Each structure stands twice: as structure tokens, then as C-alpha cells.
Amino acid sequence: MSFAPLQIDPAVLAEGVNLMWVLVVTFLIFFMHAGFAMLEAGQVRSKNVANQLTKNLLTWSVGVVMFFLIGSGISSLVGGSGFASAALVGSSGDWVGWLFGAVFAMTAATIVSGAVAGRAKLRAYVTYTILLAAVIYPVVTGLTWGGGFIASLGYQDFAGGMIVHGMGGIAGLTAAWVLGPRIGRYNKDGSVNVIPGHSLTFAVLGTLILAFGWYGFNVGTAATVFAVEDGALTLGAFSYVGRVAMTTTIAMACGAIGASAVSLIKTGKVDTLYVANGLLAGLVGITAIPDTTTWWGAFVVGGIAGAQLPIVFGFVEKRLKIDDVCAVFPVHGSAGVIGTLLFPFVATSSALEGTTMVGAFIDQVVFVVIVAGWTIAATALVFGVLKAIGQARVTPEHERDGLDISEHGVDTYPEFGVDDGVATDGGSIVRTDGSVAGSEVTDNE
């Protein structure tokens, strides 16, 4: 009995494996929203938890629809390929590619919610999310990954250290500046009052979930497992995936260490939230350059990104008087900028072929300035208009009640009770079990 050899088309096999890999890492990046939800919910007061969770849910729900209908087309248009919305393409591969881009876009969008927590109207935040997903973020990706003007500069941003995180952090800082600080954050003499979040446990668990998802973010950007050359299977982007995984892990660890060290120097204590946020800052710092950084460069980038966090947070809080509730600018904004600018100083020799260290640095600076300038201008315009028409911020009474009550009519922690069931606006507080707060009959009644 003779057997015919099994005929396998290498192109089909490569496409199938590559699509499966992209989908797996896309789902991993989506899971980062669970981390964002826990991290942000833990850093706000108990009376604002439901509001923060609602914003996280709507960021994805509203944003991904807008990115599908408009955003992907705008990105393609700015990149010079015409308006090619995901709704207009018809292949499985195109839709997988769209979804991979969408989870990156929604990461940039959800960062903003942490900066404006505790006082932004839900309608204002949703309005901004619509515009960010449809226009603001797609313009950035069109200019860069989409092949637009910045792409011709030879910039380096592998997985969105500046395009996603830097942009999101700068947008959050701008929005927080336009809105103004929470009530009670600053005294008349300018001194700062600490308003602690309600759950350090949530914040740390959210941090670890984000760190887990980050492997999808960085390692997943090595999107092609196989390529076909001369009819044979070869490794695609996986040829450098080991370096990406290694530098991502080292920078993450050094980010936490760097923040711990600076916290200890400044206060004599190791602040747990600084450690958590420093870990994330280390990840952000390396995200633009994990494929080109030397092993020792990962230590440098992660350490600096973590160390700058307490310093930049203090500067924003005390000097700029901007109330960035979840420290999104030092975690995502400044860490993203620093990591992007460090590229030529920590890159492998092969990564700098065809250019000089000075030339590469200038390209990175121009890239950062353009992205930051567009983000600041667009965000300030949107929130400025909303503020001018009285739709950006809740009333002082609603802010004191808490946004859970005033914006949603719910009590996140009903077991701790509410004295009466009436919010400032006259509405009832409906608990998560459907009962109305204040309606219970006690034994003495």
C-alpha cells in the first residue's frame, strides 16, 4: 500500500496561524479593560465607583462602534489610502485587522476617564469618547501607522507607547485641566488635600490584570507568526518576539522598583499605589521600543519611567494644580513620551542602521510634538466647548452627593446604607437589588 504525501499550502497555513494569533492577542488586550475598570474604580471614592465602571463599559461600547463606522476610515483617509471604513471591507482578514486596531483605540480612550473621575458629566465623557474614536485617535494613527506624514520621518513606535498611551495620557491631562479640580482638592492658599481612593486592593489587582494584558499589547504586535518565502514557511515578526517579551518584562519590573525608590527617598515610605502605577509606567515606557531595545536598555527605560512617576505626579498636582485623579499623565503621558525619546540611546546597533543617534532623536522629538500638539488642541476644543455650554461638569451638589447617585441613581455599596433615599435632584436612589434606599421599615416603626 502506498501513501500520497499530505499536500499543505504554506500560504493557507501561514494565514490561518497568523489570524489565530492576532485574534488571541486581541482578546487579551480587550481583557485589559477589566484591569482599567478595577484600577480606576479603586482610585475613586466609594460614591463614584458605579460612575467610573459605567464610563469604562461605555468607552468600549460606544467607542468601538464609532471606530468601526468612521474611525478606521478616517485613519485610512489621513494615511493617504482614501476613506476605507471597516464597514466597507469584506474579507475576514480585514475585519480581524480592524478589531486588532479597535482594541488599541479603546485603550487610548479609556485612559481619559481616570483623569476626569469624580466630576465629569457622563454625557460629556461619552461625547468626547465618540469624537476620540471617530476622529482624534484615527488622525494620529493615520499620520503614523497608516502611512501619513509622520511615517516618512522614520519614527519608532512599535506598539503605541506614544500613539496610544502618550496620546491618552496627554488627552487626560488636558481634559482634567479644562474641567478643574474636584471640590476640596485644593485649599484657598493653594495647598493640596489628599483624596484617597476607596480600595487599594482593587487598584493593585487592576494593575496586575493590565500587566497581564500588556503581553498581548506588546508581544502581540509581532502580528505575523509565519511568512512564506519561495514556497516555504519562515518565521515572520516572531523572529524578534523573544526580545519584545524580554524587554517588556524587565521594564515592567524596573518601573515598580524605580517608583518605589523615589517614593522611599521622598517620604521615607514605599507607597503601594506608586509601586503599582510605577509598574504600569515601566510598561508604557518600553511600549514604543521593545523590539529595538538592548537588554540593558530595558532596565534604563523601565527604571526612568517608574522613577519619574512620583516626581511628575507631584509637579502636576502641586505646581500645575491639575487634579489628575488616577495619575494618567505620569503613568501614560510622560512615561510614553520619555520611552519614545529614549529610543536612539538604548537601541541595538542594527536598529540605527541608516541613521545617526542625533537624527533618530530629532525624528522622535518631531513625532512626539506633532502627536501631543494635535491631542492637546483637539481635547481642549471638545471639553472647552462642553464647558462653555455648561455640559462638561456636574453641579457642586451632585459632586458632593457622588456621581453614583446623581448620574445613575444607584448605591454601589448598599450594605453601608444611606440615611434617606433622596438625591439632591429629588430622585430616588435605587440599589443594585432593585430596592429604593430609605424605603425599609425598621423594627421601631
Range of the domain at 325: 10-393
Q: How far is CA 108 from each of CA 89, 160, 177, 180, rounded to the nearest angstrom?
A: 24, 9, 18, 21
Q: Are 112 and 175 in contact (CB under 8 A)?
A: yes
Kindly state whether residue 440 falls inside one of the protein's structural domains. no
Kindly state whether residue 37 falls inside one of the protein's structural domains. yes
The angle that helices 334-341 and 272-287 make with each other, rounded to 10 degrees, is: 40
Please tell me whether residue 3 adopts helix, strand or coil conformation: coil
Q: Are 306 and 257 in contact (CB under 8 A)?
A: yes
Residue 199: Cβ within 10 Å count: 17
Task: Tell me the CATH number at 369.
Answer: 1.10.3430.10
Dihedral angle at the C-alpha atoms of 77, 80, 84, 89, nearest 10 degrees? -160
Contacts of 110 (CB under 8 A, 6+ apart): 33, 36, 55, 56, 59, 60, 168
Q: What is the pLDDT of residue 440?
A: 44
Q: What is the pLDDT of residue 88?
A: 75
Q: What is the pLDDT of residue 132?
A: 98
Kindly state whether residue 401 falls inside one of the protein's structural domains. no
Kindly state whether residue 35 falls inside one of the protein's structural domains. yes
Kindly state whether residue 104 falls inside one of the protein's structural domains. yes
Kindly state whether residue 59 falls inside one of the protein's structural domains. yes
Mean pLDDT per 10-residue section of the chain, whose length is 445 residues:
64 90 95 97 97 97 96 94 80 85 96 97 97 98 94 92 98 98 95 96 98 95 85 85 96 98 96 98 98 97 98 97 97 98 96 94 97 98 98 96 94 71 47 49 36
| First-to-last C-alpha distance (Å) of the chain | 92
Q: What is the pLDDT of residue 227?
A: 86
Q: What is the pLDDT of residue 166?
A: 98
Contacts of 273 (CB under 8 A, 6+ apart): 43, 197, 200, 203
User: DSSP of 387-410, one letter per residue?
Assistant: HHTT-SB--HHHHHH-HIIIII--
Kindly state whether residue 223 falls inside one of the protein's structural domains. yes
Kindly state whether residue 198 falls inside one of the protein's structural domains. yes
Question: How many domains is the chain built from?
Answer: 1
